[in-house]
């Protein structure tokens, strides 16, 4: 057996189905991957390759794998930032300087191993083929166990191997570490009992479902607990699909990018069960949404996160799904009926308040109408992939998902959406994948439309195109032509660009035409771009909360 065959066989045993890369990295291994049914997906940028592996990992909960040669490794590291913040399991491979040529001005030779330190859980050197098998096993263990995050293996040589050589070491994989979480630790029984007692005495309990619910695959279990105890569920953007929007306990998305009614519910809570959220600044609107006298029960697989931002009355360190099951088995007392009725009133008031903007026939299209239409028209089991910025704000306020649908969104990197949606489609070839991005985000990795066309990745990209970054308009002098260049774009025909890449492209100017345009995109059999023209004058309002 050759080293290339050995590594390809190990990756196959871990359940890897795609390798996202920019050539040339481990070329002989890439050939052997293809022979074993692993599809190499060659992208137009290392950052995009990392984003694709990220999207793949988040929706499948499998370890995503990506790679780049030495000269592109800094770009690959930059692409891991979002996955690190979102706790997504990725194994990244890159070439790096070989000891035999170090300090000799080798073409393209820079030691950028340190660039991976801030965006990985583990960053290791692989000195040669004899160490690749055991360090690859360690990489998968580290990526998927405990708190999942990216890891990096730097392979000696510009391309990771100069050719091929006889295999060394033990050809053994540990398939359990191909999935995350690889283990499901339970919380201490005494802590579970304390949490149940606190919930039983609460008058206005709230469950806050975070990204950890999706990472753990715990949505169904959490909804069952909410129903058992009659507790409303508010969510972070990453937890939006935890409970269906039509469920009586649905409490909406909280945070800086949040719906006002969701923030209002959280601000009334006396006990908050936090499931898989680190309670960071965006979720809590700069740490202002949880009342000072509210008691917090916090579930997280990383005990170090519990109590980081708010004092915690009951810590529950363990896997979210496992701990929710413990609480379900032990708890029985329902929250007061008056609280459920109050939630219903708050939710009804919110829906009445946004009805006019969500049904507006205005041209240019109001973004509230666009996001409402995406909700209404996406497939029953669709996956929505979203960017940050205005897309996140409009999503929080106007996207309605059922418990059969899913959302995967950027943790903060503008432009993440398009390449990530290709990774999601690789993991879910039979589900409709709709990428919703703004024109600013779309421009980042527009070349990946060619990747989508080449591999037949039939994503539908809905561009909220207001020919600007109007979220930033307040930073500039709107009356100055020079300053407008800092936030307004030249009017570009994005549909024509899509067609130039061999994809389907259509422009939508009137809300009445959106549904038909979406149906034509589906029927095209191609990756598709809908260039939806929205009102540059409409910006997302600041979410409800205390004055900061």
What pLDDT does residue 105 have? 83
Transcribe 243-273 into DSSP letters.
Answer: S-TTSTTEEEE-STT--HHHHHHHHT-SEEE
Q: Which strand ranges, in their side-by-side order, compose the sheet holding 271-275?
A: 250-253, 233-235, 205-209, 271-275, 295-300, 314-317
Q: Which pLDDT score, from 0 to 100, does residue 55 have? A: 98
Of 350, 360, 380, nearest to 254 by C-alpha is 350
Query: CA distances (Å), 146 to each of 222, 242, 387, 408, in order?
Result: 20, 22, 27, 21
pLDDT for the residue numbered 186: 98
For 49, phi then psi, to 5°, come to -60, -40
520-531 in b/e burial notation, b at 16+ Cβ within 10 A?
A: ebeeeebbbbbb
Residues spanned by CATH 3.40.50.970 within the chain? Answer: 3-178, 359-533
Q: Do 467 and 487 contact (CB within 8 A), yes or no?
A: no
Domain 359-533 superfamily per CATH? Thiamin diphosphate (ThDP)-binding fold, Pyr/PP domains (3.40.50.970)
Residues in the chain: 548
Element (H, E) at 295: strand 295-300
Strand order in the sheet with 90-96: 39-42, 18-22, 64-68, 90-96, 151-156, 122-126
Instruction: Provide the pLDDT for residue 479.
Output: 64
Please give the DSSP secondary-structure letter assigned to residue 285.
Answer: T
Span(s) in the chain for CATH 3.40.50.1220: 189-345
Q: How many CA atoms lie within 13 A of 388 on its CB side?
A: 12
Strand partners, 528: 460, 504
pLDDT of residue 547: 83
Copy the structure tokens of residue 26: 């481990």
What's the pLDDT score for residue 162?
55
pLDDT tens digit string along 346-365? 999 999 999 999 999 999 99
The architecture CATH gives domain 189-345:
3-Layer(aba) Sandwich (3.40)
Residue 252, Cβ neighbours under 10 Å: how many? 26
Residue 548: the pLDDT is 72
Please state the CATH superfamily assignment of the domain spanning residues 3-178 in this structure.
Thiamin diphosphate (ThDP)-binding fold, Pyr/PP domains (3.40.50.970)
For residues 316-339, one letter each, b for 16 or more C-beta atoms within 10 angstroms of the residue's C-beta and e for the rest, the string is: bbbbbbbbbbbbbeebeebbeeeb
CA distances from 486 to 69, 520, 540 (A): 34, 35, 19
- What is the 3 state secondary structure string of 126-174? ECCCCCHHHHHHHHHHHHHCCCCCCEEEEEEECCCCCCCCECCCCCCCC
Instruction: Please check whether residue 530 is in contact with residue 463, taking contact to mean a CB–CB distance below 8 angstroms.
Output: yes
- Residues in contact with 518: Cβ distance below 8 Å, sequence separation at least 6, in sequence order: 377, 460, 530
Decide: 148 and 84 in contact? Cβ < 8 Å: no
According to the model, what pLDDT value does residue 17 have? 98
Dihedral of the alpha carbons of 310, 314, 319, 321, in degrees to the nearest 10 = -100
> How are beta strands 39-42 and 64-68 bridged, if at all?
unpaired
Q: What is the mean pLDDT, run by run of 10 residues, along the chain of 548 residues?
A: 94 98 95 97 98 98 97 97 98 90 82 95 94 97 97 92 83 97 97 98 98 97 98 96 96 97 98 97 97 97 96 98 98 96 97 97 98 98 97 97 96 97 98 98 98 98 97 80 90 98 98 98 98 97 90
């Amino acid at each position: 057996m050759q080293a290339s065959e050995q590594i390809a066989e190990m990756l196959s045993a871990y359940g890897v189905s795609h390798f996202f890369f920019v050539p040339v990295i481990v070329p002989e291994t890439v050939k052997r991957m293809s022979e074993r049914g692993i599809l190499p997906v060659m992208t137009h940028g290392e950052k995009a390759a990392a984003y694709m592996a990220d999207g793949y990992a988040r929706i499948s909960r499998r370890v995503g794998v990506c790679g780049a040669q030495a000269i592109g490794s800094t770009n690959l590291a930059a692409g891991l930032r979002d996955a690190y913040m979102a706790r997504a399991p990725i194994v990244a491979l890159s070439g790096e300087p070989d000891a035999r040529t170090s300090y000799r001005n080798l073409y393209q030779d820079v030691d950028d191993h340190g660039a991976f330190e801030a965006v990985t859980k583990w960053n290791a050197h692989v000195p040669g083929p004899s160490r690749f098998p055991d360090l690859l096993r360690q990489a998968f263990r580290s990526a998927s166990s405990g708190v999942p995050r990216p890891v990096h293996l730097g392979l000696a040589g510009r391309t990771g191997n100069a050719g091929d050589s006889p295999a060394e070491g033990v050809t053994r994989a540990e398939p359990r570490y191909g999935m995350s979480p690889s283990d499901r630790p339970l919380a201490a029984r005494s802590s579970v009992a304390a949490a149940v007692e606190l919930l039983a005495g609460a008058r206005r309990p709230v469950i806050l479902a975070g990204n950890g619910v999706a990472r753990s695959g715990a949505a169904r279990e959490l909804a069952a607990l909410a129903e058992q105890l009659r507790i409303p569920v508010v969510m972070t953007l990453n937890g939006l699909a935890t409970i269906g929007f039509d469920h009586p306990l649905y409490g909406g998305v909280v945070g800086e990018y949040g719906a006002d009614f969701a923030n209002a519910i959280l601000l009334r809570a006396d006990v908050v069960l936090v499931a898989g959220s680190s309670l960071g600044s965006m979720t809590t609107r700069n740490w202002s949404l949880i009342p000072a006298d509210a008691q917090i029960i916090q579930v997280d697989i990383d005990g170090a996160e519990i109590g980081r931002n708010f004092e915690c009355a009951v810590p529950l360190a363990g896997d979210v799904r496992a701990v929710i099951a413990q609480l379900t088995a032990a708890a029985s007392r329902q929250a007061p009926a008056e609280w459920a009725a109050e939630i219903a009133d708050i939710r009804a008031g919110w829906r009445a308040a946004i009805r006019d903007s969500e049904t507006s026939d205005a041209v240019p299209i109001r973004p509230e109408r666009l996001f409402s239409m995406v909700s209404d028209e996406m497939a029953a089991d669709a996956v929505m992939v979203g960017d940050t910025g205005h897309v996140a704000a409009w999503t929080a306020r106007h996207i309605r998902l059922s418990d059969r649908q899913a959302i995967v969104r950027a943790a903060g990197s503008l432009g993440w959406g398009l390449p990530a949606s290709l990774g999601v489609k690789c993991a879910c070839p039979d589900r409709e994948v709709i990428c919703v991005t703004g024109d600013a985000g779309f421009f980042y990795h527009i070349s990946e439309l060619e990747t989508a066309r080449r591999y037949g990745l039939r994503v539908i990209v809905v561009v909220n195109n207001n020919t600007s970054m109007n979220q930033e308009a307040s930073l500039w002098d709107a009356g100055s032509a020079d300053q407008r260049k800092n936030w307004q774009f030249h009017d570009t025909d994005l549909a024509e660009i899509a067609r130039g890449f061999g994809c389907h492209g259509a422009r939508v100017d009137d809300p009445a035409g959106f549904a038909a345009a979406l149906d034509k995109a589906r029927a095209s059999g191609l990756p598709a771009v809908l260039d939806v023209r929205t009102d540059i004058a409409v910006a997302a309002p600041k979410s409800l909360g205390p004055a900061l």
